[in-house]
Amino acid sequence: MSNLLDTSIEFLKGVGPARGDLLRRELGIGTYRDLLHFFPNRYIDRTKYYKVNELRPNHSAEVQIVGKVVNIKTVEQQRGKRLVATFIDDTGQMELVWFQGHKWIKESLKPNMPMVIFGKVNWFNGVFSMPHPEMEALEEHKQNLRTAMQPVYPSTETLGNRGVSNRVVSKMMQQLFVETQANFAETLPPYLIDELKLIPKNAALFNVHFPKSQELLAKARFRLKFEELFFIQLQLITKNLIRKHKIKGNAFTTVGKHFNDFFQHHLPFGLTDAQKRVVKEIRHDIGQAAQMNRLLQGDVGSGKTIVALMSMLIALDNGFQSCLMAPTEILATQHFNGLTELAKPLGINIKLLTGSTKTPDRKIIHEALEDGSLDILIGTHALLEDKVQFKNLGLAVIDEQHRFGVEQRSKLWKKNDIPPHVLVMTATPIPRTLAMSLYGDLDISVIDELPPGRKPIQTVHRTDGSRLKVWKFLKDEIAKGRQVYIVYPLIQESEKMDYKDLIDGYESISRDFPLPQYSVSIVHGKMKPAEKEAEMKRFAEGKTNIMVATTVIEVGVNVPNASVMVIESAERFGLSQLHQLRGRVGRGAEQSYCILMTGHKLSNDTRTRLDTMVRTNDGFEIAEVDLKLRGPGDLMGTQQSGVLNLQIADLVQDREILQVARNIATKILKEDPTMERADHAAMRHTFIELSRKKNIWNYIS
């Protein structure tokens, strides 16, 4: 069967080279197997037949009618022509209309032949019409493998114009089941099928394309969704296990004087339970002779930096160097300042390397790295340069890893014979479902509580009408000695317009908050790095009261005295971006505020975003809402969404199935890591074939 499914699609009866080429280009269907796993995206009830006199002007659902075409004409219109046919049954008449594909339709329309039409009906100028209907001879309609639940397959405009309608795809699918005799190999172990009460593979594939009932369709979809997610989890978990066996790491067996001295005498405040748990997880990992690969998630201000420093101190206690790589110079500088401050009493050597580090300083850094006298190096992409050679790099911490490509990260591994342990930190909370799918091969730690003494930020939504009240509130806060951020959106396509908004905003704010009583800073993308740094510095040192900026301040400005964040045109920001911006305040002991300013007209999605921000400060809850609104591909950016090219499962709706699939995959691999057991043979075969192919569905049959 496996070989038959590898047959090229043009050999399926009724397809041929031209149509095969079209299916390949438009839908990525190149083989029988691709077609088999081309799943419907919805189903229509085709048990009811309407009469023309039963149609109603506001009837928006699709209908099917039995009747015949009595005449055909071409009508000129402003742009091009339309083809119009008169269709009658024994109760009345209506029009069928085509705007494209005239030649092909004219040839296939047989006047006075009984037929079934299906489509959406429009009511215009007292006449019912059906644009681009699906049509089938009544005789053929009666003979077809018909089910009550009619599948509707994804399509494209080109396919529609070239006559590959939904009915044509359904006919191909019927032909496929005839040629393969619906005989598909089972892929899951019998005990698992029993345990989860799954229907057999054959029945699942048949009922997803030709459902006999709503109940069988639900069972078929559950079976196929579970299978898709299960094999993805098997791959990710195996990848993790293999890496732990294959990729050796330096075992940091000593927890020595640097770590203990810091922990016992120099912690600025007690660790939260979440921080303690995470340090323990990291200590366990780096104590093994296998490379650690751990993702550390924690909201802005949750104390990830302290955890990173404590991990670096363990590396130092074992005679190894560490590095911390951040995506921007501002963020790298902030990490440097923070870590230097924390580690001051320990007398260790920490340096900063970025694009703007002067040549003499670079020379000193390079030498200290190579002779081992430099303990911790913090920097940007500059760390990846070939000139940067460590004596013995033991731990690499990467902040906000989604901003670094895979090749860039692998350059770090090559800086040592034995690759360093890797700790990836992110302040972008990733919903559990996504983390399990995208980062399923990493171990995940979460800091899910804020340090004591931090007050939750109060968030409100205000429209432009209440701007005077908002400005008064800002003046009151500044009078208390606080500072304010006012952020404008920056969206690449309309940079000119955004720049204008920002400058207009800055000018009106300067008028409303005049010198000498107030001082306003501005930071945006068109400024030189040195100018930006200078303005940021003035604000950080309290020399200006208000910082007007585009989203460049989203990552990495730490001004504990700033207590108000005003976000202009908040409707133009995504949820995770709003949450990141809000995290710039609330870093001191004072009560902080986030004010979301918008116009009056808002879409439903925007309202959901703003209501979520006002309701909760929990980054993980916000990430879940964001995932529902935007879908997985958008959330992680396209380059990350390869794993998520799911054919039937949905990460938002099928979270429970994903959890079950992951638990079962973990259990199976614990008991039988290489899937050698006799009852795992089919699963192992599928897994091996799958690993050769990128597309998960290529080999699940």
pLDDT in tens, 520-538: 999 887 888 788 888 888 9
d(CA 314, CA 259): 6
557/549: higher pLDDT:
549
- At 350, phi and psi to the nearest 5? -120, 135
pLDDT of residue 287: 94
Closest CA to 264 of 233, 219, 310, 227: 310
pLDDT of 150 higher than 90: no
CA separation for the pair 72, 105 (Å, rounded): 10
How confident is the model at residue 701, as a pLDDT? Answer: 36
Residue in the block written with tokens 């009469």? 51
Largest CA distance in the chain: 96
Percent of all residues in the chain with a pLDDT value above 90, rounded to a whole number: 53
User: What's the CA gap between 144 and 134, in Å, rounded?
Assistant: 15
* CB 220 within 8 Å of CB 180: no
User: Residues 316, 375: contact at Cβ < 8 Å?
Assistant: yes
How is residue 159 written in tokens? Answer: 């396919």
Within a 10 A sphere around the Cβ of 309, how many other Cβ atoms?
24
Mean pLDDT of the chain: 87
pLDDT value at position 172?
95
- In three-state secondary structure terms, 540 is helix
Q: What is the pLDDT of residues 47-69, one digit of tens each?
A: 788 999 999 887 767 889 999 99
Instruction: Name, of 14-23, 157-166, 487-496, 575-584, the range with top average pLDDT.
Output: 14-23
Per-residue pLDDT at 244 exceeds 70: yes
* d(C-alpha 608, C-alpha 78), whole Å: 42
Separation in Å, CA 528 to CA 98, 381, 482, 533, 534? 57, 19, 28, 9, 10
* Beta-sheet pairing, 458-463 with 593-598: parallel
The amino acid occupying position 388 is: V
CA dihedral 332, 333, 338, 344 (to 10 degrees): 110
pLDDT at 47: 74
Q: Tokens 């401050």 identify what position?
A: 341
Q: Strand 350-353: give its sheet, edge to edge.
A: 350-353, 376-379, 321-325, 393-399, 421-426, 293-298, 443-447
Judge whether 438 and 430 are in contact, CB under 8 Å: yes
User: In degrees rounded to 5, what are phi and psi of residue 581?
Assistant: -65, -40
pLDDT of residue 698: 44
* CA distance linking residue 598 with residue 583, whole number of Å: 19
Q: Are 325 and 354 in contact (CB under 8 A)?
A: no
- SS3 assignment, position 573: coil
The rounded distance, in Å, linking the Cα atoms of 514 and 433 is 50
Q: Is the pLDDT of residue 584 over 90?
A: no
Contact yes or no for 563/536 (Cβ under 8 A): no
pLDDT of 534 reads 86
What's phi and psi for 646, nearest 5 deg? Answer: -80, 145
Q: Could you tell me the pTM of the whole model?
A: 0.68
SS3 283: helix
pLDDT, tens only, 358-370? 999 999 999 999 9
Among 472-486, 548-562, 644-658, where is mean pLDDT lowest? 548-562
In this predicted structure, what is the pLDDT of residue 403? 58
Q: How many whole angstroms separate alpha carbon 628 and alpha carbon 605?
A: 10
Contact call for residues 168 and 12 (beta carbons, < 8 A): no
Predicted local distance difference test score (pLDDT) of residue 628? 80
pLDDT at 635 > cutoff 70: no
* 250-303 pLDDT tens trace: 999 999 999 999 999 999 888 999 999 999 999 999 999 988 989 898 887 788
**CA dihedral sign of residues 94, 97, 102, 108:** negative
Of 164-168, 544-548, 687-691, 696-700, which gets the smallest average pLDDT? 696-700
> Per-residue pLDDT tens for 534-546?
888 899 889 999 9
Instruction: Give the mean pLDDT of 382-411.
Output: 82
Dist CA 400 CA 300 (whole Å): 12
Q: pLDDT band at 324, cuts 50/70/90?
A: very high
Give CA separation, 571 vs 492, 501, 574, in Å. 16, 15, 8
